[in-house]
Amino acid sequence: MREIKIAILGMGTVGGGIYKLIEQESASIMHNEHIKLVVKKTLALDYSIDVPEKIKARDIDEIVNDSEIEIVAEVMGGVHPAKEFEMKCLHAGKTVVSANKDMISQNWPDLEEAAKKGGGGLYFEAAVGGGIPILRALYDSMQANTIDQVYGIVNGTTNYILTKMSGDGLDFRDALKEAQALGYAEANPTSDVEGYDARYKLSILASLAFHVRVPVEEIYCEGITGVTKLDIEIANELGYVVKLLAIGKKTANGGIEARVHPTMLKKDHALASIKGSFNAIFINGSAVGEMMWYGKGAGDLPTASALVSDMLYAANVEKHRHATFENKYDAGLAQINDNWRTKYYMRANVLDAPGVLAKIAGIFAKYDVSIESVLQRPGEGAFAPLILVTHEADEKDLRGAVDAIGEIPEVEARPAIIRVEEQEG
Amino acid sequence: MREIKIAILGMGTVGGGIYKLIEQESASIMHNEHIKLVVKKTLALDYSIDVPEKIKARDIDEIVNDSEIEIVAEVMGGVHPAKEFEMKCLHAGKTVVSANKDMISQNWPDLEEAAKKGGGGLYFEAAVGGGIPILRALYDSMQANTIDQVYGIVNGTTNYILTKMSGDGLDFRDALKEAQALGYAEANPTSDVEGYDARYKLSILASLAFHVRVPVEEIYCEGITGVTKLDIEIANELGYVVKLLAIGKKTANGGIEARVHPTMLKKDHALASIKGSFNAIFINGSAVGEMMWYGKGAGDLPTASALVSDMLYAANVEKHRHATFENKYDAGLAQINDNWRTKYYMRANVLDAPGVLAKIAGIFAKYDVSIESVLQRPGEGAFAPLILVTHEADEKDLRGAVDAIGEIPEVEARPAIIRVEEQEG
């Protein structure tokens, strides 16, 4: 039996989850792994659960300088001081396990370099998909595959909101309020509803899947705040559901598409049935074909499951792996392709007057976007919603067309668009 | 760059898949893993693909005695001589990777002991779920969880047949013929359609998930040959689909349920939508909650994906893990609980005469099984199908009742039953 001493930075929901989980599963971990995990120190401004006073550290140095502590879990969230704390621990040779998707996705090369110098490991299974063990699978189980797609639902808050909008006919604001009341959305929901959280996760996922670094700021990002009840109703009529997807794809010319946006998916796609706060991630591998992981993307114990797993995995590793961002897990920066092709759904509020559809159709034709179907809905007052679904078109052409349509006097504002994925899955 | 020499035993579909995959992904494996896999020897009676004459071994000893060969892939299938060949390789200190579910599930302790003595590793990700990396996830990603359920669709042949029966209204024989014509079922389909293949896989899955050995012969096993077109039609009317499930559950008293049988599942259960030759496996963990893996359960490249992954994983391991069947991954033999509780669907062919339903209902009451609903269907001739769905009942009570009902003169034969799982998922 080996005893491994750890420290936890941040004792909110997830930090408390780690503490509880280590207590709860201690006997079975000792039995199965022959390892006893001992929380020697915690560092936090607020504690979500009671811990003995004597393990509360005064500052980060008390942990960094404690040579008995082998592994540090960083679950404070935010970039500062989380980055400085992780860097100190890594430089001191400790292994760091983290759930901090925003900090890691933006500082991965620095952290990895510090880990390499210090000799400890850097693990962050919990940063993507909560309890879903997809990062380890990409490292340890998909090595024989060239992966050309990784996509999925990686934000439970927005999935909960969209599920509610769809199931109960709520509009965005009411569904968000319900999610906040139930603890599925934070008081400040920006990072979730604007897609930033999904973007951090996609940066990590796509980098690992494609062995090339896909920086956060290169990922196109659009949240769900513009999705209306009407969009979801019409999607339903057309045989689709609306999901916030994080999508990474290799393109024919060696580029990478990386984008987060609301997406219409066919109702029989496996992702269409992922409800509430669950996450699900697909890959397409050259040997394995289509694979999907499904599970809880957040919450204290699911996230702690990934963090404690990282600790036990790290404890059994003789020599930690380090992404160098030169040759391994990275062939340099990705060449981002921001002119992808999909079908598009467009909703415009137009004057109910003759000739408007002809004008709009003319603009689409000018931009080389062909129209698959048109729907008109009764409006209130002079304007009425006009809905169009296009055939596959280039993103840039579509945006050009939509900008131009927004300029017509008979159109109330720039039309809303939702991308449509026809892919089976 | 490390060069690792391997041998392949069996050059059928899967052996050919390994050979092709190593060729196809060689550059990316070298780039990402810094390992070059070289197939130095093959041993087979039949070759599904062309390989250079000079690598064809005459006998197993040529491979066992070749000290350059570090890893041997055994994909011959069958118990003999596969077991003897694996044992020789393991005793010689080589690592063995295998897809041989029947042999491994029945001889795991012997093989593990040989591996431990020889110092090589024993890996068999490919034996369960084809390309789905669930065994590695149980070892390396679920350590912080006590798992109380593992269940799923682990046989693609029967899932293909049931999907066809359901989608195209075929009966079992015709769906089987179609599966055989398309290569989804073997000329001799017994192992698949009788549930034996699923039973081997459940033995491995449940043993790993529960850290206790669940021997093949202790697992209740019933295939799909008795499932009729009518059963599937009625299931559909009642809101269910029929799937062959492999189910492992911990029971309250410390026992284990382990069973393979056709199962009616609610249409909105995630497993209900798993179509054709795909596999999907659920677990329920104390921390992670519900998790599912979905992917291709068979085929040359998906299976080779798991085998080559095992090779690369093993190549990076300093000291292989060995289940001892004493303390690690095994607390001794499982205490099997064969008196589980579920709901039941029963179909009897009964004489269309007054009083028959009363007799049947009386027998159910005597055996303490209560009836939820009754359906009668028009028959041909004097007999007509009577369908009953029970509330939850003990398996033994249900069997007692069904045996007794089979004895009534007005009932044509022992009624058919299908277990019903109401669980969400």
pLDDT tens sequence across A103-113: 999 999 999 99
In a domain, A154, yes or no: yes
Instruction: State residue B335's pLDDT score.
Output: 86
Question: Is A329 a domain residue?
Answer: no
Mark whether B217 and B181 lie in a shared domain: yes
User: Same domain, yes or no, for A235 and A182?
Assistant: yes
Cα A159 to chain centroid, rounded: 11
* pLDDT score, position A335: 86
Beta-bridged to residue A336, according to DSSP, are A256
Cβ-defined contact of A285 to B305 (cutoff 8 Å): yes
- The packing angle between helices A300-315 and A13-24, to 10°, is 60
Q: pLDDT of B305-334, one tens digit each?
A: 999 999 999 999 989 988 766 444 444 567
| CA dist., res. B77 & res. B186, Å (int) | 13
Return the structure tokens found at A69.
């502590």
Enzyme catalytic residues of B: 201
CB A176 within 8 A of CB A192: no
Region A64-72: what's the mean pLDDT?
98
| Secondary structure of residue B201 in the 3-state scheme | helix
Task: Give residue A219's domain range.
Answer: 141-297
State the DSSP code for A56: B
Q: Do A287 and B305 touch (CB under 8 A)?
A: yes
- Say if B395 falls within a structural domain: yes
Count other C-beta atoms under 10 Å from residue A65's C-beta: 11
Q: Are both B287 and B154 inside the same structural domain?
A: yes
Distance between CA A119 and CA B35 in Å, rounded?
22
CA distance B364 to A71: 59
Residue B334: the pLDDT is 74
Number of independent structural domains in chain A = 3
The answer to whether the beta carbons of residues A221 and A199 sit under 8 Å apart is yes
For A214-232, b where at least 16 C-beta lie within 10 A, e where not — what string? bbbebbbbbbbbebeeebb
Q: Is B253 a residue whose pLDDT tops 90?
A: no
Shared-domain flag, residues B174 and B287? yes
Q: For A143, which residue in chain B has the nearest alpha carbon? A: B309
| Mean pLDDT within B253-273 | 93
> Are B169 and B329 a contacting pair, CB within 8 Å?
no
Query: Does B163 share its domain with B229?
Result: yes
pLDDT tens-digit profile of B271-313? 998 989 899 999 999 999 999 999 999 999 999 999 999 999 9
The whole-angstrom separation of Cα B218 and Cα B206 is: 12
Query: Tokens 């359906």 identify what position?
Result: B375
Task: Give yes or no for residue A48 having a pLDDT over 60.
Answer: yes
Q: Specify the pLDDT at position B328.
A: 40
Measured CA to CA, the distance from residue B158 to residue A246 in angstroms comes to 34
| Same domain membership, residue A270 and residue A184 | yes
Tokens of A240: 């689709």
Question: Can you say whether the dihedral through the CA atoms of A338, A343, A349, A351 is positive or negative?
Answer: positive
CATH number of the domain where residue A400 is located: 3.30.70.260
Nearest by CB: A288 against B288, B305, B313: B305
Residue A46: name the closest of A84, A7, A6, A75 by CA: A75
Which of A123, A141, A207 has the highest number of chain B CBs within 10 A, making it the mutation to test binding with B? A141
A350 and A222 share one domain? no
Show the CA angle centred on residue B334, arms to residues B190 and B420, nearest 5°: 55
Global confidence as pTM: 0.95
Q: Using the beta-carbon criterion (under 8 Å), do A287 and B301 form an inter-chain contact?
A: yes
pLDDT for position A4: 98
Alpha carbon of A315: minimum distance to chain B alpha carbons (Å): 11
Can you read off the two tokens belonging to residue B66?
């070749």
DSSP state letters, A231-279: HHHHHHHHTEEEEEEEEEEE-TTS-EEEEEEEEEEETTSGGGG--TTEE
Q: What is the DSSP string of A392-415?
A: SEEHHHHHHHHHHHHHSTTB-SSP
A40 dihedral zone (left: phi>0; alpha: psi -120 to 50; beta)? alpha
CB-CB neighbors (< 8 A) of A143 in chain B: 29, 32-33, 308-309, 312-313
Q: Are A286 and B309 in contact (CB under 8 A)?
A: no
Question: Residue A361's pLDDT is what?
Answer: 96
Please say if the pLDDT value at position B424 is more than 80: no
Residues in A touching B137 (Cβ below 8 Å): 133, 136-137, 141
Q: Is the pLDDT of residue B185 over 90?
A: yes
Same domain, B279 and B156: yes
Tell me which H or E stretch contains B306: helix B300-315
- Residue in A with minimal Cα distance to B329: A32
Under DSSP, the state recorded for B56 is B
Residues B154, B291, single domain; the answer is yes
In-domain check, residue B76: yes
| Domain annotation covers residue A317 | no
Cβ atoms of residues B181 and B157 within 8 Å: no
Q: Are strands B35-47 and B69-74 parallel, antiparallel or unpaired?
A: unpaired
Question: Which of B76, B287, B126 is closest to A141 using CA atoms?
Answer: B126
Give the DSSP letter of residue B415: P
Measured between beta carbons, the chain B residues lying within 8 angstroms of A302 are: 287-289
User: Of these residues, A40, A83, A88, A201, which one is catalytic?
Assistant: A201
- Classify residue A399: in a domain, yes or no: yes
Rounded Cα–Cα distance for residues B108 and B115 (Å): 10
Distances (CA, A) of B297 to A151, B124, B275: 21, 14, 12
What confidence score (pLDDT) does residue A254 get? 83
Contact call for residues B281 and B150 (beta carbons, < 8 A): yes
Would residue B319 count as lying in a domain? no
Q: How confident is the model at residue B141 (pLDDT cuts 50, 70, 90)?
A: very high
> If you average pLDDT over residues A298-317, what whole number do you get?
96
3-state secondary structure A360-387: HHHHHHHCCCCEEEEEECCCCCCEEEEE
Give the end of a domain, one of B264, B280, B296.
Answer: B296
Identity (one letter) of the amino acid at A413? A
DSSP assignment of A171-233: -HHHHHHHHHHTTSS-SS-HHHHTSHHHHHHHHHHHHHHHTSB--GGGSEE--STT--HHHHH
Res. A330 pLDDT band, cuts 50 70 90: very low
* Residue among B33, B294, B305 whose CB faces A294 most closely: B294
Is the Cβ pair B313, A141 closer than 8 Å? yes
CATH classification at residue B18:
3.40.50.720
Question: In this structure, what token pair is assigned to residue A73?
Answer: 């879990």
pLDDT at B192 over 50: yes
In tens, the pLDDT along A112-159 reads 999 999 999 999 999 999 999 999 999 999 999 999 999 999 999 999
Q: Is A304 in Cβ contact with B287 (below 8 Å)?
A: yes
DSSP class of A143? T
Q: Which two tokens stand for residue B46?
A: 């039949």
User: Do A224 and A281 sit in the same domain of this protein?
Assistant: yes
For residue B96, the surrounding DSSP H or E stretch is strand B95-98
Six token digits for residue B226 = 């008795």
Confidence band (pLDDT; 50, 70, 90) for B121? very high
Residue B329's pLDDT is what? Answer: 42
Confidence at residue A324, expressed as pLDDT on a 0 to 100 scale: 65
Contact (Cβ atoms closer than 8 angstroms) between residue A126 and residue A104: no
Instruction: For residue A320, tell me if it sits in a domain.
Output: no
Measured distance CA(B328)–CA(B186) in Å, rounded: 37
Are B231 and B242 spatial neighbours (Cβ–Cβ below 8 Å)?
A: yes
Q: What is the arithmetic mean of pLDDT over B127-153?
A: 97
Residue A177 and residue A244 share a domain: yes
Nearest residue to A129 (alpha-carbon basis) of A159, A108, A103:
A159
- Based on the fold, state whether residues B242 and B291 are members of the same structural domain: yes
Give A219's contacts (C-beta < 8 A, 6+ positions apart). Answer: A199, A202, A203, A258, A259, A260
User: pLDDT value at position B323?
Assistant: 78
How many residues does this entry show for chain B?
A: 425
What pLDDT, on the 0 to 100 scale, is given for residue B16? 98
- The pLDDT of A402-424, averaged and rounded, is 94
B338 has a pLDDT exceeding 60 = yes
Backbone angles phi, psi at A188, to 5 degrees: -105, 100
Please give the span between the terminal C-alpha atoms of chain B, in angstroms, as a whole number: 45
Tokens of A193: 């509803």
**Boundary residue ending a domain (A93, A127, A161):** A127
Mean predicted confidence (pLDDT) in A388-403: 97
Average pLDDT over residues A237-264: 95
**A132: which chain B residues are within 8 Å (Cβ-Cβ)?**
291
- % chain B with pLDDT above 70: 98
Rounded to a whole number of angstroms, the distance from the CA of A292 to the nearest CA of chain B is 5
Cβ-Cβ pairs closer than 8 A, A with B, add up to: 183
pLDDT more than 70, % of chain A? 98
Measure CB to CB from residue B295 to each of A29, A291, A327 and give the nearest one. A291
Interface test with B, best of A305, A328, A330 (most B CBs within 10 A): A305
Which residues does chain A have within 8 Å of residue B268's beta carbon, measured at their own beta carbons? 273
Domain boundary among A98, A127, A156: A127
**pLDDT attached to residue B332:** 59
Between residues B72 and A323, the one the model is more confident about: B72
The model's pLDDT over A184-205, given as tens digits with 9 standing for 90+, comes to 999 999 999 999 999 999 999 9
